[in-house]
Amino acid sequence: MFNTFLTANWEYLVMANYEVDPVVLAPYLPNGVELDVYEGKAFVSLVGFMFKKTKLFGVSIPFFGSFEEINLRFYVKRKDGNKIKKGVVFINETVPFKLVALLANKLYKEHYISIPTKHAIEYGTIKKIKYQWKMNDYWNSIVIESEIQKNKIEPTSIEEFIFERYFGFTKIDKNTTQEYRIRHPKWQVNKILEANISCDFGNMYGAAFKNLSTRKPDSVIIAEGSNVSVNWKRDRF
């Protein structure tokens, strides 16, 4: 049986991080995992990145090899024996292709939607990245400028908390959770110089997140990215 479902390059990963009341995340929290916090605070991240060189079971997918993904996620952990598995839960994942969303939702019970997306990337003495996605005639956007110098992720930093996640957890129903493994090398980061977020959170993600539309993120971080793989096998508990 195939062990690896998906391989791809995830590149130019921008994450705008917002502190939220844990009560807001409770309806999305899968059974058997607990909310993970940084310095006592719970966060959601608005994420933009590029999918490139995408393959399913080792086979390139015509016309769908490169595309944007925008998602909203939060951070959890699960104790499994003497191990602590640090992972993420996706509230929503957005891609431009209906077939990609359909396959992800059908195979893995994920929360994908398909709407228009676009991006622009300039790479010179500084890095400029823009992600846009259109919902109800409004173009939401993440726009950043960063240095091009690559830096290691520092221990105990917000970058480590956000990026060092190697498991995904999906809430199937109130009693059932699905777990999957994500593999990639440790990423490097760039220093953010400027960031502008324009997102109708209420329209995109529901009334519980509406207040984020008028707030500046608590932090914005960017990783270079790398090749990644996602296991076919998914455990349920």
pTM: 0.93
Distance separating alpha carbons of residues 159 and 186, to the nearest angstrom: 11
Domain count, the chain: 1
The CATH code of the domain that includes 21 is 2.40.400.10
Two tokens at 201? Answer: 């959170």
Residue 133, helix vs strand vs coil: strand
Say if CB 22 and CB 74 are below 8 A apart. Answer: no
Q: Return the pLDDT at 58.
A: 67
pLDDT in tens, 144-158: 999 999 999 999 999
Question: What is the domain range of residue 120?
Answer: 4-236
pLDDT in tens, 19-66: 999 999 999 999 999 999 999 999 999 999 998 887 766 667 766 678
